[in-house]
């Protein structure tokens, strides 16, 4: 699968090291030392022996679909797939090795913003080692927080989300925790998408609280450090963020101590249902819409026209609407500037700062 091939296999067919080096960046993707994936059916006659190893035409097609044919730029989805393949194909895992941090995040299909790429992150009870391919950290992972997928042992999705707080920062860890909770509540990404289309059940929040108590808290209590910060973030997560951007905005609300917003709220026009909005501050009649460009691309002009009509009607009903794009959401200062600039009355709903007594 994925046209993964080893150096030893190539050499056994007479492919010399010079040819392999020449093919990297052309038809070969270097994964880790001695491991490659053939990503293009190359027309270069010097690489014809490599093309004979192609067994997965669907992978070749997928790479082409996710590559801009004019610029050659790769979509982030493809970059994440490359990292997932890098982790899965690494040939030198030891008995006590556990894949963790961002490497486990790729396997668990977390959406991450500009994550570190090119290395496999491994936890080991006693060994510590870094190379061009691997960062092996001396760290014991409780067996209860380890799952096995194929030949890989890796941290569970929830444990991985907590670990990302320390590696990539609170925003990434928060978004990963929300992804885990959403999947836990609705069973899968597909189940969550179905709930988003047909309406969230009225017991969604109660089910989320039960999942946090039963599934998340035991993992949190097994953390050797960072429990307080993990608990603070966990107290703010929910199952209703429908994208990475919505999770980042929800994290921003917590950072700004801005209270009163509710997610995925239905708006009525008299007795008629008008629309469902990303975030609603009912008391101040403020709506925040977060980064919806992908859905316009997917659904076309008809959806744009429909939402323009809904937008105008919301204004007629007295709502103030703030639109935030992706770049604004991932930058806390830009987000706060636009939010309070367009809806200054929201400052009245900032919660008092809690003093810890630590200076």
197/150 same-domain check: yes
Return phi, psi of residue 188, to 5°.
-175, 170
Determine the structural domain holding residue 35 and report its residue range.
Answer: 4-74
pLDDT mean for each 10 residues of the chain (359 residues): 96 95 96 96 93 96 94 94 98 97 98 96 97 97 98 98 98 99 98 95 97 99 97 98 97 98 95 94 96 48 69 94 95 98 98 69
Identify the pLDDT of residue 303: 52
pLDDT at 137: 98
Residue 294 pLDDT: 46
CA distance 84 to 89: 9
Question: Which of 45, 74, 103 is the endpoint of a domain?
Answer: 74
Quote the radius of gyration of the chain (alpha carbons, Å). Answer: 24
d(CA 135, CA 256): 35
> For the chain, what is the total number of helices (H) and then of strands (E)?
17, 13
Co-location of 128 and 216 in the same domain: yes
Residues 265, 323 within the same domain: yes
For residue 194, what is the DSSP state? H
Q: What is the CATH number of the domain that holds 286?
A: 3.40.960.10
pTM: 0.92
CA angle 330, 333, 337 (to 5 degrees): 115
Contact by Cβ (8 Å): 195, 202: no
Q: Is residue 178 located within the same domain as residue 217?
A: yes
* Integer Cα distance of 322 and 277 in angstroms: 11
CA distances from 108 to 100, 148, 211, 236, 257 (A): 11, 12, 18, 22, 30
CB 220 within 8 A of CB 230: yes
Give residue for tokens 């978004």. Answer: 175
Rounded-to-integer distance, Cα 181 and Cα 174, Å? 11
Domain total in the chain: 3
- Do 109 and 29 belong together in one domain? no
Q: How far is CA 329 from the centre of its chain?
A: 15
CB neighbours of 254 closer than 8 A, spacing ≥ 6?
Answer: 233, 236
Same domain, 138 and 209: yes
Q: Quick one: 245 and 285 in the same domain?
A: yes
Residue 232 lies in a domain: no
Q: Are residues 115 and 64 in the same domain?
A: no
Whether residues 294 and 190 fall in one domain: no
């Amino acid at each position: 699968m994925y046209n993964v091939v080893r150096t030893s296999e190539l050499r056994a067919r007479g492919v010399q090291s010079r040819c392999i080096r020449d093919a990297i960046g052309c038809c070969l993707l270097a994964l880790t030392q001695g491991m490659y994936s053939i990503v293009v059916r190359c027309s270069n006659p010097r690489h014809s022996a490599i093309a004979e190893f192609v067994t997965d035409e669907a992978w070749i097609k997928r790479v082409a679909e996710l590559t801009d044919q004019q610029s050659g730029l790769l979509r982030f989805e493809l970059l994440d797939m490359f990292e997932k393949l890098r982790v899965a194909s690494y040939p030198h895992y030891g008995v006590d090795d556990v894949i963790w941090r961002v490497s486990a995040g790729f396997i668990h299909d977390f959406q991450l913003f500009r994550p570190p790429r090119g290395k496999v992150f491994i936890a080991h009870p006693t060994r510590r080692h870094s190379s061009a391919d691997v960062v092996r950290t001396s760290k014991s992972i409780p067996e209860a927080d380890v799952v096995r997928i194929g030949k890989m042992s890796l941290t569970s999705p929830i444990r991985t989300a907590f670990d990302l707080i320390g590696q990539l920062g609170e925003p990434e860890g928060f978004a990963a925790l929300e992804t885990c909770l959403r999947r836990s509540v609705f069973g899968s990404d597909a189940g969550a998408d179905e709930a988003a289309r047909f309406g969230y059940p009225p017991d969604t929040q109660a089910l989320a609280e039960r999942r946090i108590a039963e599934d998340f808290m035991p993992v949190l209590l097994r953390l050797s450090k960072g429990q307080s910060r993990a608990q603070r973030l966990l107290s703010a997560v929910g199952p209703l963020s429908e994208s990475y951007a919505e999770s980042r905005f929800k994290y921003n609300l917590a950072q700004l101590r801005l209270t009163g917003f509710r997610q995925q709220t239905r708006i009525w026009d008299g007795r008629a249902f008008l629309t469902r909005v990303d975030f609603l501050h009912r008391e101040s009649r403020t709506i925040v819409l977060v980064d919806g460009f992908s859905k316009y691309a997917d659904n076309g002009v008809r959806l744009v026209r429909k939402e323009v009509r809904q937008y105008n009607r919301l204004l007629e009903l007295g709502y103030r609407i703030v639109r935030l794009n992706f770049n604004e959401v991932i930058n806390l200062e830009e987000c706060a500037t636009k939010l309070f600039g367009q809806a200054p009355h929201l400052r009245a709903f900032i919660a008092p700062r809690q003093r810890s007594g630590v200076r």
